[in-house]
């Protein structure tokens, strides 16, 4: 089996992703251009081939900056780890570790959605490949969707329904479509500043819309004509994932985020989706509890990491070492935060 750079057509790559059970929208070929155009990263596409046929693949990008050097599959997203046959996946993981060792990175992180390095039905799970460890620092929350939005509404707890009704009583409404990019970013950038976190650049999201018009979903909640909450997600194989979501703290008492999530769920049902994915989060925190209140269940994200005794993960504003910087960033004037943030955010995968 040969493992190395992929030199084939984008259509062949995407066909493999669509056919593989562990394939996700994060594996699609178009992300290479998005990361290059939107963030200036040189994203590699690595494949495993045998007798001229694809057996496995993964995107792999080095992200380096003042907070460290990381080799990630795939950065800024929840998934993207190696997929394909067990032999191909384990070979691709070894390739990532060898490259990471050769380049002296602080961490190699392969963001698997499933334990693709194992054969189905194995009683004794094999050790992770290439001396890697399985991280438990992120989970996803998934909610099965019925065929009818009314049935979904009836299944919500009364407290949740009451919180969804509140912004509606204030006249808030949600608009969907690619034309919502500018208001989405206005809410997203302000919220990230308030959280003390550098914001990804607008051109990154613009590049996503250009690369994935069929998968990308944008929604914005408006209050008195101004954006109050916003979300950016992806519809893939009957699952809609909310990848980025924000709301204005100044309107928190009116709960525009509750209407945002409810309308995204309705949109998912109307689009024929069978699952709503609330996206990744650290287990046990406030964000995790917010997602669980809708009735979903946790799904472990078995991200592979190397070195086994190295960093717990890529930098997080919740980490103790960054709390002082987070407080300082949250006090920056918004124009300055929006100007400086993208230069920093592109180095934190």
pTM for the model stands at 0.94
- 346 has pLDDT over 60: yes
Mode of pairing for the β-strands spanning 43-50 and 2-5:
antiparallel
Cα–Cα distance for residue pair 46/306, rounded to 1 Å: 18
Average pLDDT value for the chain: 93
pLDDT of residue 317: 60
pLDDT digits (tens, 9 = 90+) for 1-11: 999 999 999 99
Q: Which CATH architecture has domain 140-299?
A: 3-Layer(aba) Sandwich (3.40)
Task: Note whether 138 and 282 are within 8 A (CB).
Answer: yes
Q: What would you report as the CA-atom Rg of the chain, rounded to the nearest whole angstrom?
A: 20
Under the banding of pLDDT at 50, 70 and 90, the label for residue 124 is low
CATH classification of 2-137+302-314, choosing from 3.50.50.60, 3.40.50.10090, 3.20.20.80, 3.40.630.30? 3.40.630.30
pLDDT digits (tens, 9 = 90+) for 299-322: 999 999 999 666 677 776 655 556
Q: Which residues, including other chains, have CB under 8 Å from residue 336's CB and lie 6 or more apart?
A: none
Mean pLDDT of 20-48: 96
3-class secondary structure, 140: strand
More confident residue, 289 or 328: 289
Give me the percent of the chain exceeding a pLDDT of 90.
89
- Whether 2-137+302-314 shares its CATH topology with 140-299 is answered yes
pLDDT of residue 119: 78
Q: Where are the beta strands (DSSP E) in 237-323?
A: 239-247, 275-281, 297-300, 303-306
Angle between helices 256-270 and 158-169 (to 10 degrees): 100
Cα–Cα distance for residue pair 83/98, rounded to 1 Å: 18
Cα–Cα distance for residue pair 181/176, rounded to 1 Å: 10
On the question of a cis peptide bond just before residue 307, with omega within 30 degrees of 0, the verdict is yes
pLDDT digits (tens, 9 = 90+) for 180-237: 999 999 999 999 999 999 999 999 999 999 999 999 999 999 999 999 999 999 999 9
pLDDT digits (tens, 9 = 90+) for 105-118: 999 999 999 999 99
Question: Residue ranges of the domains in the chain?
Answer: 2-137+302-314, 140-299
Nearest partner of 216 among 193, 234, 239, judged by Cα: 234
- Tokens (6 digits) for 157: 């707890």
């Amino acid at each position: 089996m040969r493992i190395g750079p992929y030199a084939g057509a984008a259509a062949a790559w995407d066909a493999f992703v669509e056919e593989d059970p562990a394939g996700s929208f994060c594996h699609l070929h178009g992300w290479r251009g998005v990361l290059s155009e939107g963030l200036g990263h040189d994203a590699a596409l690595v494949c495993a081939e045998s007798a001229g046929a694809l057996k496995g693949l993964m995107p792999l990008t080095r992200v380096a900056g003042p907070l460290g050097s990381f080799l990630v599959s795939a950065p800024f997203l929840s998934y993207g780890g190696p997929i394909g046959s067990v032999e191909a996946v384990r070979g691709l993981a070894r390739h990532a570790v060898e490259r990471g060792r050769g380049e002296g990175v602080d961490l190699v992180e392969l963001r698997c959605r499933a334990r693709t390095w194992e054969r189905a039905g194995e009683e004794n799970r094999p050790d992770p490949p290439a001396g890697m460890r399985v991280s438990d620092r992120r989970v996803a929350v998934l909610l099965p969707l019925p065929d009818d939005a009314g049935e979904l509404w009836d299944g919500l707890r009364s407290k949740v329904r009451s919180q969804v009704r509140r912004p509606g009583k204030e006249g808030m409404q949600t608009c969907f479509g690619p034309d919502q990019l500018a208001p989405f970013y206005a809410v997203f950038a302000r919220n990230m500043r308030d959280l003390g976190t550098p914001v990804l650049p607008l051109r990154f999201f613009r590049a996503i819309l250009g690369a994935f018009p069929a998968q990308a979903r944008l929604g914005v909640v408006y209050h008195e004509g101004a954006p109050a909450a916003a979300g950016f997600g992806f519809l893939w194989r009957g699952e809609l994932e909310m990848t980025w979501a924000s709301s204005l703290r100044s309107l928190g008492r009116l709960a525009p985020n509750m209407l945002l999530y409810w309308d995204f769920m309705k949109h998912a049902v109307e689009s024929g989706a069978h699952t709503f994915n609330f996206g990744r989060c650290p287990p046990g925190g406030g964000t995790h509890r917010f997602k669980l209140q809708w009735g979903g269940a946790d799904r472990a994200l078995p991200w592979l990491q190397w070195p086994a005794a190295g960093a717990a993960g890529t930098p997080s504003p919740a980490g103790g070492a960054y709390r002082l910087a987070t407080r300082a960033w949250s006090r920056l004037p918004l124009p300055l935060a929006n100007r400086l943030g993208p230069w920093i955010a592109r180095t934190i995968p």
